[in-house]
Amino acid sequence: MDSAEILTLPKAVSTRGYLEDTSVRRLTLDLYDQEHIAIRRYLIFLGLTSEAAQEIVQDVFLKLHEHLLACGDRSNLRAWLYRVAHNIARNTQTAERVRRTNPLETQDFERQLPAPESSVEERMLEAERQRRVREAIAALSPAQRECLMLRAQGLKYREIAEALNLSVSTVGENVQRGLEKLRQMV
């Protein structure tokens, strides 16, 4: 088909691809606005650096745009985003042979200490509480930590199951056992 034939196509046909692309672009941007911070936080929780997490977030939304342009399933895009982010993160860690570390140990908890006007005793108690929480979280299995983190992000069990490729009952069990361990240790 030459350019003269394209120009004679009905307007609805010639602009259809453009309109679909615009709606896909808008949906991708809306989801980015809603989820990019939470997904980045989740990736950092998995042990990635801030820079690596940001790159993966960009890759995730690029893949989302491609998925939508290919008329992919739109039924649960939030879980789809987390599943893709999780898979890319794991592939990145495997490829680089990076040993998974507890990201909570790398966070700067000292910046979160109580205000200077609190007493020495209050600051020591807060530091002790933070230490116990870190130890309790470190004692959880990786599956329990991941399920609890995604639940804390507001995902439903079904969405967590889709994101981590687990059954809903396994997610529920991991969340329940993780919470029980945390209660016992903290």
Q: What is the pLDDT of residues 13-41, one digit of tens each?
A: 334 454 567 888 899 999 999 999 999 99
Token digits for 95? 């490829």
* Domains of the chain and any CATH numbers: 14-99 (1.10.1740), 110-186 (1.10.10.10)
Burial class (CB within 10 angstroms; exposed 0-12, middle 13-18, buried 19+) of 31: buried
Q: What is the pLDDT of residues 138-180, one digit of tens each?
A: 889 989 998 988 888 888 999 999 989 999 999 999 999 999 9
Indicate if the pLDDT at residue 61 is higher than 90: yes
Overall average pLDDT of the 76-105 stretch = 76
What does pTM read for this prediction? 0.57
Token digits for 184? 């016992």
Token digits for 141? 């299995």
Among the residue ranges 26-40, 65-79, 92-106, the one predicted with the least confidence is 92-106
**Cα(33)–Cα(155) distance, rounded to whole angstroms?**
17
**Cα(174)–Cα(167) distance, rounded to whole angstroms?**
11
Indicate if the pLDDT at residue 108 is higher than 60: no
Q: What is the pLDDT of residue 6?
A: 38
167: left (phi over 0), alpha (psi -120 to 50) or beta: beta
- Does residue 166 or residue 99 have the better pLDDT? 166
Q: What is the pLDDT of residue 55?
A: 93
